[in-house]
Amino acid sequence: MPNLVYEIFNLLAAILRVLGMAVLGLGLGWLVLDLLRKSEVWQLTGAIFLGLIGLIIAMLVFIGWGAHGAFVLGIGIAIFLWGMPKKPKEELKK
């Protein structure tokens, strides 16, 4: 019986880890896009991009594949939500 309880806790911990990494990826993706828009010199743009790529590579060592996939998926969703160009809004014609 105690093993069943531990397995349930392990499953809940894994689900929370994956969801947490997805939220972290979403937030970090938004931050990177915001910093890239505000950067005025190419050196800062390169440093931000290489820092993000370095973080993704370094996370391979410390977290599991599912959490890493959720993190990268969160960054991808942030790029599609906030990084794509917006269509101009047409004014209402009367």
Query: How far is residue 57's CA from residue 26's CA, in Å, rounded to a whole number?
Result: 17
| Helix/strand/coil for 70 | helix
Tell me what pLDDT residue 26 has.
94
Predicted confidence at residue 92, as pLDDT, reads 63
Each residue of 33-82: pLDDT tens digit? 999 999 899 999 999 999 999 999 999 898 888 889 999 999 999 999 98
Q: What is d(CA 67, CA 63) in angstroms, rounded to the nearest whole number? A: 6
Banded pLDDT at 87 (limits 50, 70, 90): confident
Mean pLDDT of 10-15: 93
Taking the C-alpha atoms of residue 55 and residue 49, their distance in angstroms, rounded to an integer, is: 10
Torsion of CA 59, 65, 66, 71, to 10 degrees: 30
Structure tokens given for 38: 């505000």
